[in-house]
Each structure stands twice: as structure tokens, then as C-alpha cells.
Amino acid sequence: MNHPAIKEGRVALVTGGASGIGLAVAQKLRTQGMRIAIADRDEAALSEAAETMNGEVLTVLTDVSELAEVEALRDRVIDEYGEIGFLMNNAGRGFGGGAFSSLNGWQQVLGVNLWGVIHGLQTFTQLMIDQGTPCAIVNTGSKQGITNPPGDAAYNVSKAGVRSVTESLAHELRNIEGCQVTAHLLVPGFTYTGLIKRHIPEKPTGAWDPEQVADYLLKKMAMEKFYAICLDNDVSTELDNARILWNTNDIIEERPALSRWHPDYESEFNEFIREHAS
């Protein structure tokens, strides 16, 4: 069983699709008989991706932080294939900066992670609605955009923005009469992608492969779910839910921001986790 947009002969476009989760999703959709286009700003990775798919893919060099390049991507895919049934705004980068440091890092991370998604939505959504066919838009978020852990504020903000705009997208689409486009938020767990490989040469036992994330996403979409919050080999659904609930309750309980990492709340947090995630 698949989402109705995933069908032989339909077209799937994945940004950041030359490696990692994006490539894994593209390859899975190719096995479903879809025609594939992948966009990435890494030309060498695009060439390698095309080889892994035996050349049965349209590759387009694209920097999603630039609206003109995303619009050129749209024109190229439409000229080649005539329609788009599945759009995955997946291009991303990390290591932006702290709350008051690394302005250039902030600009780069927000440019790709958040503005890249916004550019994709502005460029493709109305086109997909007007096609009058079942379509799906997937935006790649992160658990860091939900729980906001210390360490990379720029990345967290970018992914929190992706979550917010995707929720708004889903609501807007749902309220358009006759609209056959659905929105979905992919939230990967610990996944062994190229970004991780640069720092950890061997896959940690706790990490999922990108192919597992792709399978989980397609499963959730087939179930008509908006959120695809992935697990990994170390974190259960119950633990994920407990962490998210604690973080949300910071507002209601008027605790200090990010109290999960505040030493005064360590024992209370651990007790909460034992109660809710066991």
C-alpha cells in the first residue's frame, strides 16, 4: 500500500537528493516505478548518484537558498517530465552557530534549511494543486527543531521553522476545496549519513541507515500520517514522546528554558522519563 501520489509513471523530485536520506528516498521511489529528479549543489555527488541509479534519473545542480535556482529547477523538471507528483524539500546543512555567534553560519544554515523549504513551497505548491492529481509534499525537519537541545541554535531554529511552515502548509491544503495535495513532516532520528561519516568513520550501532528512514517515511505516508517521527536503535517511541512532552511542559510549568539540560532539574527530568518511557 502506498500514498496515492506514489505510482508508476509519476514524477518525484528530491532536493538534497544526491546522498543520505534524500538519495535513499529517491531510490525507493524508483523501485515503485516513479520517474526521478534529484537536485543538489554537490556536482560530484550528483554524478555518483546518477551512476547508482544507472542513469535513470534527472540530475539538476541547484542551490535551494537561491529562489531563481529553484524556479529554474521547476522549469527543468516540467520541461523534462511534464508534472510533479512527489516533492521532497530535503536539502540541509548543520553547524550554524550559537544564539549570539557566527552570523555567517546562521545565514548559511537558514538559507538552505529554512529558506530552501520556503522557496520550494513557493515555487511548486500551487503548480501541484493545479495539476488536479494526488500529490505529496515532504519537508525534512529534525527532532532538534522540536526539543531544541543546546549546541547549534541556528540549526534548531531552522528546523523549528520547517516544522512550523509544514504544519501551516498541511492546514492550508486541507482547507482548499478539491485539493489532492498532502503535506508531511519527516523527522529523522539518529541516521548515519554523509554528515556523520565525516566525523565517525564507522556506523554506530544506535544509528539507522538512510534506507530505514526512507521505508519509515513511506510507511507513514501510506497510513495518511502527517508526522513521520523516526526512531533509531537507541530511542523508542515512548522515550521520544516523553522528551517532547517534557520540553513542551517547560512553558506550562514555567520552568527555565531548556530545563531538560538544567542541573537543578536533572533528577526531576530523569524521574519523568522513568515514569513516561518505561
Tell which residue, 80, 164, 176, 92, has the closest CA to residue 135. 176
Other Cβ atoms closer than 10 A to 57: 22
Answer whether 23's CB lies under 8 Å from 15's CB: no
**Residue 249 CA to chain centroid, in angstroms?**
25
**Rg of the chain in Å (alpha carbons):** 19
Catalytic residue among 81, 155, 192, 216: 155
42, three cell numbers = 554537490
Tell which residue, 39, 112, 35, 40, has the closest CA to residue 81. 35
CB-neighbour burial class of residue 262 (10 A; exposed 0-12, middle 13-18, buried 19+) = middle
- Helices 115-131 and 67-81, axial angle in degrees (round to 10): 30
159, three cell numbers = 528546523
Answer whether 173's CB lies under 8 Å from 181's CB: yes
Which amino acid belongs to residue 6? I
Please say if 155 is a catalytic residue. yes
Catalytic residues: 155
